[in-house]
Chains A and B, each alone.
Chain A
Amino acid sequence: MSEVEEIMKRILSHKGVEGVIIANTEGIILRSTLEDQSTVHHVALVQPLLMKAKKIVQDMDPEDELTYVRLRTEKNEEIIAADKDYFMISIQTPSL
């Protein structure tokens, strides 16, 4: 568990990272570094996207699994790492 915390700290301390949210697939928020409202907002919006993405992947190849989704917008980038039981969002404003 401490390793997990360490890695999370390192990610957060990196330049440009605004926050990290960890939630399970049902949408229950496990850990978040942003404030509650925006966390809930993010999770509520990302969750159906993830479901759709998972469906896409599984439809195309039933043995395949979604690992990773990246949403690049004008202002920042959301990196979403997904798994069967949880997903993790990190929001970064990259320098590029």
Chain B
Amino acid sequence: ENNDVTPQPLHQAGLGAEQANRFLVEELSAGSASDQTTFTGNFGKQFSFFVELLLPDEKWKKDLVKEQVTQALLKVMKDIFITETDTISLLEIAPAILLRTSPCFVYRERNKQYEEVCRKRISNEKYVDRAMQTLNEASKNKQIQNNLMLMVDAGLHVLFIVKKMKPNNYAETFVESSRSAERMCCFSQTFSLSVISSCSLKDVDAVRTGLNTQSDLELIRLSEKFQYSLLLMERSVLRNSFQCQLASYRQLPLVKPKEVEEGEGRTETSCSPALECLWRFSCELSIGCSVSCMAWNQKNPDLLAVGYGESDSRNQEPGLVCCWSIKNPRWPERIIHCDSAVTTLDFSANSPGQLAVGMCDGSIAVYNVQIHCFPILHIGPVWQLRWNKQELSFTGEEKVEALFSVGADGRICKWFIINGGLDCTDLMKLKRSNNTQRKTGQKPEKMAECGLSALTPGLCFDFHPIDSNIYLTGTWEGNIHKCSCSNSHQFLETYKKHFCPVNWITWCPFHPDVFLSCSSDSTIQLWKQDCPRPLLSFSSNHGEVCEVKWSPRQATVFGAVYNGHLEVWDLNSSFLDPVIVQPAAPGLKMTSFLFASLTDCVLVGDSYGQVTVYQMQNLRVGECRQVQHTNISDKCLNIWGLKGEVRSKLEFKLLKVLYFL
């Protein structure tokens, strides 16, 4: 009956110590065995119990201490530090990076095994599927506050090229697009990677063309520099194939290609002088037009201007001027279309970009070739007749350059640039010498109507290399007149020998008194300035001589071009025969030629529109730059003796004296 199940209080205030002690021990032992989970909850009580038992009189103190602590806590500000513990790594498996080519059989095997296991897992009894559940404890919300940090999004730029070969061999390429910089108030450093994942090449193409249109606009914007790059590219591509020829043009040692060394045996090492063809300047535009004149640029020795046009054809075809560069034999640097056939051209020495072009219909145009060729000045036909030739000359005193021209109307004019146009003053009128019309004198007004009555057409002229006041001019009648810029009424001297139109006159660049003239009577005459008779004459039966020019490098070498062939003479080696004779290709007529100023090359223009560059080989290089007078005089004497020409003693002595100068 005394089933009193009310739990005994643990703390009995009135009991004695011993009883309490026994009681406590029992309780403790009982408590410790059973309920361990609530240990923490009762800890406080038991602790106080302990304290109470052992030191019953300290109970008061404890209470007091507790109270004191709480009061102190309220007053004192205490800092509480919250720190993070170090990161504890629970599991770390480092990745293994392997090259595709490295031996990785071990790993492959392991992968295979693993795959096997995975496959067999379903039916295998070793592996059991079991579900797990994690305890989700109640979450607590905590509010924090801090200053706002401004973020800026900076996109990065990564080019991924990942190629995955699918079974049907399509390649996927991941190309990332342009960057973007936006202000976003969120996490920074986003990769703006737009993945163009396409499974077919067509899609890639579509995307690319989309990009293309945008970048094409870029192209237009960058066009100038781009053009320059293209130009560089073209030149270097060409240089690769023309390397041999360019090297021999510039007289550099040749690098022989490997195959050629074994194959060809160069048996012919001929000692006789010959012309070796290096390359041809020709393009589609120029094919078919006949080359009429060529000129080197004074400043840039690699630049050549070529004028095309048939000067004696009835149908007035438009002419063409092409500026070629040695570095590009396939396409001219500049192309100028002219209204009528071009008969002559010349580069200015003072302003090397200016090219003066004279045309068949009597007009002159001056082009600036540096800025894509538009004519600075163009005049309407000044003369009503056909032939024109101009040269830019350099009057030494004032270093002023003026344009001179000689025309079919017999006037030699000097041109000035005034107010955007050209104005001319007459330097000389070429009067007919063997005419009764001499009495009439000069009638400037009549010139426009009947051009040929009092004056004879001038075909060529050349200024003295040293004294630029003096010039020579050759006429249709065959006379050569020496004139001066200061005297416009009289000729200083007249040289008569040719009986056909004089086609070309040129002073010798090394000897100041010697000049050459050639004419349609198929002769070339060598004259000395003060001597009314030619010193030497080179005749042939090959037809009219179109042009004759001195070589700029060797004093005794000159060349002459006939319609059918080119001749190079060397006065040092032979008087009677040319040293080199180069026949024209069948069906072509050679129309013009030019010596290269820095190398041993000759350029020949023909009626098909090609300019061929030849290199002169085995031409004995002149030991000295001066005409070897003594040798020539001896040879002259011999030849005259052989030919039996009658020469007056006076002339003979004069010549001897002159030659021994």
Closest to A44 in B: B161
Q: Which of B159, B218, B237, B331 has the most C-beta atoms of chain A within 10 angstroms of its own C-beta?
A: B237
Q: Is the CB of A24 within 8 A of B230?
A: no
Annotate B189-219 by CB proximity to A: 1 below 8 A, 0 otherwise: 0000000000001001100100110011011
**What residues of A have a CB within 8 angstroms of the CB of B159 in the complex?**
26-27, 44
Which one, B220-228, B314-322, B523-531, B642-650, is touching chain A?
B220-228
Residue B157 is within 8 A (CB to CB) of chain A in the complex = yes
Expressed in whole angstroms, the minimum distance between the Cβ of A47 and any Cβ of chain B is 8
Of residues 313 through 342 on chain B, the ones whose CB sits less than 8 Å from some CB of chain A are 330-331
Q: Which residues 1-40 in A have Cβ within 8 Å of B in the complex?
A: 1, 3-4, 7-8, 10-11, 14-17, 20, 24, 26-31, 36-37, 40
Alpha-carbon distance A81/B205, docked complex (angstroms): 25
A60 sits at the interface (CB 8 A) = no
A7 touches B173 (CB 8 A): no
Q: Interface range on chain B: under 10, 10 to 19, 20 to 34, or 35 or more? A: 35 or more
Q: Which of A14, A27, A36 contacts B330 (CB 8 A)?
A: A14
B237 close to A81 (CB less than 8 A)? no
For the complex, is B514 an interface residue (Cβ under 8 Å from A)?
no
- Asked if A26 and B241 make an inter-chain contact with CB atoms under 8 angstroms apart, the answer reads no
Q: B238 within 8 Å of A by Cβ? A: yes
Secondary structure of the B contact surface, majority rule: helix
Interface: B233 (CB within 8 A) = yes
Asked if B241 and A83 make an inter-chain contact with CB atoms under 8 angstroms apart, the answer reads no
A29-B220 CB under 8 A given contacts A79-B236, A88-B230: no
Q: Given A26-B157, A77-B240, are A7 and B330 neighbors across the interface (CB < 8 Å)?
A: no
B232's partner among A26, A37, A68, A85 (CB-CB below 8 A) is A68
Contact B241 A30 (CB under 8 A): no
| A7–B332 alpha-carbon span in the complex (Å) | 12
B: which residues have CB within 8 A of A?
Answer: 157, 159, 161, 171, 173, 175, 178, 201, 204-205, 208, 211-212, 215-216, 218-220, 222-223, 225-227, 229-234, 236-238, 240-241, 243-244, 255, 257, 330-331
Return the contact of A7 from the options B205, B227, B238, B255 (Cβ within 8 A).
B227
A70 within 8 A of B: yes
Contact B219 A95 (CB under 8 A): no
Of the candidates B216, B255, B330, the one whose C-beta lies within 8 Å of that of A10 is B330
In the complex, are the beta carbons of A30 and B216 less than 8 A apart? Answer: yes
Beta-carbon contact of B226 and A86 below 8 Å: yes
Asked if B231 contacts A7 (CB within 8 A), the reply is yes
Please state if B243 and A94 are interface contacts (CB–CB under 8 Å).
yes
B247 vs chain A, min Cβ distance (A): 10
- The answer to the question of A67 belonging to the interface, with a C-beta cut-off of 8 Å to chain B, is yes
A1/B219 in contact, CB under 8 A = yes
A8 to B230 CA separation, bound complex (whole angstroms): 7
Fill in one digit per residue for A48-67: 1 if any B CB lies within 8 Å of its CB, else 0.
00000000000000000001
Give, as a whole number of angstroms, the nearest-CB distance from A19 to chain B: 12
- A/B interface sample: 13 pairs, CB < 8 A: A4-B219, A11-B230, A16-B240, A24-B215, A30-B212, A36-B201, A44-B159, A68-B236, A88-B226, A90-B237, A92-B237, A94-B241, A96-B255
The answer to whether B241 touches A16 (Cβ under 8 A) is yes
Taking the nearest CB of chain B, how far is it from the CB of A23, in angstroms? 9
| Cross-chain contact B331 with A10 (CB below 8 angstroms) | yes
Note all chain B residues with C-beta closer than 8 A to A28.
Answer: 175, 211, 215
Q: From B243, which residue of chain A is reached at the shortest CB distance? A: A96
Q: Please, how many angstroms separate the alpha-carbon atoms of A79 and B211 in the complex?
A: 25
Docked Cα-Cα span, A71 to B171, in Å, equals 28
In the complex, the chain B residue whose C-beta lies closest to that of A70 is B236
Q: Is the CB of B257 within 8 A of A24?
A: no
Chain A residue contacts of B244, Cβ below 8 A: 96
Structural contact, B240 and A92, CB atoms closer than 8 A: yes
> Are B237's CB and A3's CB within 8 A?
no
The listed residue with most A CB atoms (<10 A of its CB), out of B226, B230, B231, is: B230
Docked Cα-Cα span, A4 to B216, in Å, equals: 12
Most buried by B among A20, A28, A29, A85: A28
How many Å lie between the Cα of A85 and that of B222 in the bound state? Answer: 8
Choose among B204, B241, B257 the residue that contacts A14 (Cβ–Cβ < 8 A).
B241
Establish whether residues A4 and B240, one from each chain, have CB atoms under 8 Å apart when the complex forms: no
- Give complex CA distance A24, B219 in Å: 9
In the complex, which of the residues B171, B204, B212, B234 has the most CB atoms of chain A within 10 Å of its own CB atom? Answer: B234
Docked pose: A31 CA to B212 CA in angstroms? 8
Q: Within the complex, what minimum Cβ distance (angstroms) separates B159 from chain A?
A: 6
In the complex, which of the residues A1, A7, A68, A85 contacts B218, with contact meaning CB atoms closer than 8 Å? A85
Cα separation A8 to B237 with both chains bound (whole Å): 12
Closest to B258 in A: A96
A69–B34 alpha-carbon span in the complex (Å) = 89
A86 and B201 CA atoms in complex are apart in Å by: 25
B161–A40 touching, CB < 8 Å: yes
Residues of B within 8 A of A20 (CB): 233
**Chain A nearest CB: distance from B54 CB in Å?**
82
Q: B237 contacts A96, CB within 8 Å?
A: no
B646 smallest CB distance to A (angstroms): 61
Q: Are B236 and A30 in contact (CB under 8 A)?
A: no
Q: How far is the CB of B224 from chain A (nearest CB, A)?
A: 11
Cβ contact within 8 Å between B229 and A90: no
Counting from the closest, the 4 A-B pairs by CB-CB distance are A94-B240, A81-B229, A7-B230, A30-B215
